[in-house]
Chains A and B, each alone.
Chain A
Amino acid sequence: MSVLLEVQELEAFYGRTKALHGVSFSIVNGGITTILGANGAGKTTTLRAISRMVRTTGTIRFESKPLEGKATEDVVQLGIAHAPEGRGTFVHLTVEENLRLGAWGRRERGRLTDDFERVFGYFPVLRERRRQAAGTLSGGEQQMLAVARALMLRPRLLLLDEPSLGLAPLVVREIFKILKTINETGVTILLVEQNAALALDLADHVFLLETGRVVMDGPSDVLRQDDTIRRAYLGY
């Protein structure tokens, strides 16, 4: 299996504050990887570093091309879609306009009809809400929109920041089921999640972040059995 993303000795800074202290990991093509960790461990920052939204040192390579020094817009064009913390909805615009914008950074232009059909197939509720202002959607629908918007890019790598945040368990399960389907179509997923049980079920590989460092790393089946993870993140 080939390596899609490789991160080495990554340090990230907000002003003078260091948020990551030398994070290293790599992601293979086609899998679902999850980053677990408590609040403030640096999960979101790691995603933001990949999308070049924070100042960093160290190296990040996507398909062996370095991302450091690139602007966020250029990273998107390489095929990295990022559904950010807080969902990043364009609340003033309609659902359809939100989706159109998702395809803005795409290399291959072409018609969007197929893409619309595909994401409406995953999330039929978005088809019904197509002409509605995105700000009027419920939290769950906005999360679906965030994933759908990211898919419009036809990404190689999908970065998801806490898709379960603030949603009803039933909705979360539905979204996670669809993430699995999306992954099976060949999209590699890097998922940040606080809901460890759910994330371990979905992912095939796990990193555990603590205060800006990777402290554990392995296949999810193995880490699920680990006592530390079980006590601290699964709660039994």
Chain B
Amino acid sequence: MDILIQQIVSGLATGGIYASLALALVMIYQATDVVNFAQGELAMFATYVCWTLLGAGMPYWAAFLSTLVIAFAGGVVIERVIIRPVENAPILSIVMVTLGLLVICNSLAGWIWTYVQKPFPSPFSSTPFKVGNIVFGAHDLGQIQVTLLVLLCIYLFFRFTPLGLAMRAAAHNPVSSRLVGIRVGWMLALGWGLASVFGAVAGMMVAPVLTLEPNLMGGVQIYAFAAATLGGFTSPGGAVLGGFIVGVVENLVGTYVSFIGTELKFTVALAMIIVVLLVKPTGLFGSTVVKRV
């Protein structure tokens, strides 16, 4: 029983990371119908930026916040400079552009910071937290808190601010949005900025666990895809819940199903993607989109 609870909590902790990245994927998908395959690599890049700032002697939370600002600006610039020119191109062309971005980010990080693994600090104390016989990792708990805080902020932003409203409008109905005077192009760029921020949070939270290297987010991105598919690519709330579910399932299956163990854990995510697509392609909370072609 104790082990079960421990595994669930640590599953929720990694699940929060998948949730953040899944939310980033879903946000861009909703606004532009494009899956940004480079999302994870952008997050990795942001984590390296944070590592560099920390190396320069900046205190952790200052470096954390500066990284979020840089990630936001980076996301906006990438949308304006790289995505904007292909905005009206066929969907496959845009997908190829994001794949290219993935490769560029990955190689650029390797070129600047080398492929040697680097330890990345956790802002949370290393003494575990005990309730009765159950031991929780302090980083796990802190990570859950950070994720929930970010999710809360973004919920409040989209639900209660005029800018959040305009971004939702631009994503759902660009034509009408222009007719009320919303600059739809800029709303998309802001969307990319925010998505990079979620990615950066995910990267900085997962790096202390996995250690920092250019392929940091490769696996995480697959899990995030599983989360977004499970929750539904059209539902931000669903993607977040999907992230937590994938995290917990992955952990429990790894612990209790002996033939899977840690080696085959990764396959679970891929299996989940396939099962969801076969059984309920829109995901748990997604809505069916009917398109006239």
8 Å CB interface, A27-71 against B: 51, 53, 71
Cα A90 to Cα B183 with chains together (Å): 16
* Interface: A89 (CB within 8 A): yes
8 Å CB interface, A88-104 against B: 88-93, 97, 100-102, 104
Number of interface residues of B (CB under 8 A): 17
Cα A119 to Cα B104 with chains together (Å): 53
Partner of A93, one of B169, B175, B182, B183: B169
Q: How far is the CB of A73 from chain B (nearest CB, A)?
A: 5
| Chain B residues with CB under 8 A of A71 | 178
User: What is the interface of chain A mostly: helix, strand, loop, or mixed?
Assistant: loop
| Chain A residues with CB under 8 A of B181 | 73, 76-77, 104-106, 153
* Interface: A149 (CB within 8 A): yes
B176 touches A72 (CB 8 A): no
**Chain B 155-168 interface 0/1 with A at a Cβ cutoff of 8 Å (1 = within):** 00000001001101
* Interface: B280 (CB within 8 A): no
A104 touches B166 (CB 8 A): yes
Partner of B173, one of A51, A72, A90: A90
| Chain B residues with CB under 8 A of A53 | 175, 178
Cα A39 to Cα B175 with chains together (Å): 22
* Interface: B179 (CB within 8 A): yes
| Chain A residues with CB under 8 A of B177 | 101
| Chain A residues with CB under 8 A of B184 | 73
Q: B172, B175, B176, B182 — which one has the most chain A CB atoms within 10 A of its CB?
A: B176
* Interface: A140 (CB within 8 A): no
Cα A51 to Cα B181 with chains together (Å): 11
Q: How far is the CB of A106 from chain B (nearest CB, A)?
A: 8
B168 touches A76 (CB 8 A): no
Given the interface pairs A100-B162, A104-B166, the reply to whether A88 lies near B182 with Cβ below 8 Å is no
Cα A149 to Cα B183 with chains together (Å): 17
Given the interface pairs A51-B179, A72-B178, A104-B182, the reply to whether A93 lies near B166 with Cβ below 8 Å is no
Given the interface pairs A97-B165, A100-B162, A104-B166, the reply to whether A76 lies near B172 with Cβ below 8 Å is no
Partner of A101, one of B175, B180, B183: B180
Given the interface pairs A93-B169, A97-B165, A100-B162, the reply to whether A105 lies near B182 with Cβ below 8 Å is yes
Q: B166, B168, B169, B181 — which one has the most chain A CB atoms within 10 A of its CB?
A: B181
**Chain A 144-173 interface 0/1 with B at a Cβ cutoff of 8 Å (1 = within):** 000001000100000000000000000000
Q: How far is the CB of A176 from chain B (nearest CB, A)?
A: 22
A101 touches B172 (CB 8 A): no
Given the interface pairs A100-B162, A101-B165, the reply to whether A89 lies near B182 with Cβ below 8 Å is no
| Chain B residues with CB under 8 A of A84 | 175-176, 179
| Chain B residue with Cβ nearest A109 | B162
Cα A34 to Cα B173 with chains together (Å): 28
Cα A93 to Cα B165 with chains together (Å): 9
| Chain A residues with CB under 8 A of B183 | 73
Cα A69 to Cα B104 with chains together (Å): 37
Cα A72 to Cα B182 with chains together (Å): 9
Partner of B168, one of A51, A88, A92: A92
| Chain B residues with CB under 8 A of A89 | 176
Closest 7 CB pairs of A and B: A105-B181, A76-B181, A88-B176, A72-B178, A101-B180, A104-B180, A73-B181
Q: Provide 9 A-B residue pairs closer than 8 Å at the C-beta atoms, listed in order of the A residue.
A: A72-B178, A73-B182, A76-B178, A76-B180, A77-B181, A92-B168, A93-B169, A101-B169, A149-B180
Contacts A97-B169, A100-B162 given; 11 further ones with Cβ under 8 A? Answer: A71-B178, A72-B179, A76-B180, A84-B175, A88-B176, A88-B179, A101-B165, A101-B177, A105-B182, A106-B181, A153-B181
Q: Which residues of A line the B interface, CB within 8 A?
A: 51, 53, 71-73, 76-77, 82, 84, 88-93, 97, 100-102, 104-106, 149, 153
